[in-house]
Structure 1
Amino acid sequence: MLFYFDSFNPWLVAVGLNTVLLAIAWLAPKKLLTQAGYLHAWVLGVIVWGTLSWQGYLVVMFYFLVGSGITRIGMVQKEAAGIAEKRSGTRGPENVWGSALAGTICALGTLLLGTPYQQLLLLGYVASFATKLSDTTASEVGKAYGKRTFLITTLEPVARGTEGAVSLEGTLAG
């Protein structure tokens, strides 16, 4: 069925699909995004579908859904320790673009640059989301279940949740 969409203008499909998904997400009881986050995610979704079709969209949706789920791992422990993501993991515009800006630039580059760069930009797109998902996984698992955490620059022991801290548990998960 997704291949059927390829016969339509990708930008019209992008607007329609993202509008429907935004409406569904807006009505869902559990919010994954703030109000502004929904708008920014809609823009991101339109750009990604418009430039990379369903294949690129699948990558960003996988990142978003899995990353949102991973953020909720050990939420009770992280909130009790005061190291949980703000808003209990609900994403805002800063999270949308913090995660997706590099990939979005690669996606837009596929329109602007010639064929010789196409594969490299696609690799950059996928790599940006893979790297971000790995980082999110390592960070969230480390904050929830890390036994001993160390500052990556000096290797001195620090408390869980310290910026730049790593743990064996988080590193293996990521």
Structure 2
Amino acid sequence: MGEAGDLAAAVGVTGLFAALAYLLRMVSAGGAAGGMVVGTLVYASLGAPGFAVLALFVVGGSLLTRLGYERKRRSGTAEARGGRRGAKNALANGGVAVACALLSALTPFREAFSAAFVAALGAAFADTAESEVGQLYGGRPRLVTTFEPVRPGTDGAVSLPGTLAGLAAAGLTAALGALLGLVEGAAVPVAVAAFCGTLVDSLIGARLPRLGNGLTNAAGTLAAALAALLLLGVVR
């Protein structure tokens, strides 16, 4: 298939997925549009394997957001708009992954940047898992910087159930990346890098709560991508 065919396949598959996500109320109209951009670039750069890792984050994150939604809504910690993600969320969580996908396709360092891509999405998925599971089952979380008890939903708050969920999400993303050939022999370092990204996310949230979720999430995914490159020996 030529470049035009590859692009047509990317647009077609991503458009179908975005429409389905919108109909299932996983994303808002803006989220579907933002996801369309992210998904098309990922598919065009890394093909079906890259898109599958992205889909894991989108579907898995949406299911976790809906888990116990009414309970989270009553406590004031639930995502707005019924849990539907918007364009800002798609770009904040997927922007770094898109950059890694493009660098994988356009530079000689395909394997390294495809691993960084998986790590970035693993961090985004792990962060969602930590937040959604922690708010339900984490009891009274603690601030990551001082370990003082804080209200659920506080920026930079961590809990044991949430942390374990984050580890599982990071590991699952890395395992899928390995299964699909995006992470060759480096699933463990990539999972570690993804989890490190969530730690950076929590530290920034605790230190700079006014920065906002979007920038904090982007910083966490960037930290995960850089950690993957460092652990794989690309960045020294």
Report Cα offsets for 1:97-140 as digits up to 9, x if no partner.
11111110001112332x2x111101000111111111111111
Which residue number in structure 2 is paired with residue 9 of structure 1?
A: 5
Which residue number in structure 1 is paired with residue 26 of structure 2?
A: 32
Moved over 4 A (4+): 5-8
Residue type of the alignment partner of 1:43: V
Q: Give the TM-score, by structure 2 length.
A: 0.66
Query: How far did 1:6 drift?
Result: 8.7
Report Cα offsets for 1:1-27 as digits up to 9, x if no partner.
xxxx7998211111122233334444x
CA distance in 2, matches of 1:128, 1:108: 13
Q: How does 1:99-118 map to 2 (within 5 A)?
A: 99-113=93-107, 115=108, 117-118=109-110
CA contact (8 A) 2:19 2:32 kept: no
| Counterparts in 2 of 1:83 and 1:24: CA distance versus 1, 3 Å | closer
Unaligned residue ranges in structure 2 (runs of 5+): 167-236
CA contact (8 A) 2:97 2:120 kept: yes
Which residue number in structure 2 is paired with residue 56 of structure 1?
A: 50
Percent of aligned positions with the same letter in both sequences? 36
Aligned residues: 166
CA RMSD, Structure 1 to Structure 2 (Å): 1.8
- The DSSP-based 3-state class of the residue aligned with 2:34 is helix
CA distance in 2, matches of 1:150, 1:70: 21
Residue type of the alignment partner of 1:12: A
Question: Is the aligned partner of 1:90 residue 2:94?
Answer: no
Question: Is the aligned partner of 1:147 residue 2:139?
Answer: yes
- Match for residue 124 of structure 2 among 114, 125, 132: 132
Residue type of the alignment partner of 1:50: A
Which residue number in structure 2 is paired with residue 68 of structure 1?
A: 62
Highest Rg: 1 or 2?
Answer: 1
Which residue number in structure 1 is paired with residue 188 of structure 2?
A: none
CA contact (8 A) 2:104 2:112 kept: no
Which residue number in structure 1 is paired with residue 111 of structure 2?
A: 119
Residue type of the alignment partner of 2:13: L
Q: Give the TM-score, by structure 1 length.
A: 0.88
Residue type of the alignment partner of 1:14: A
Unaligned residue ranges in structure 1 (runs of 5+): none
- The DSSP-based 3-state class of the residue aligned with 2:162 is helix
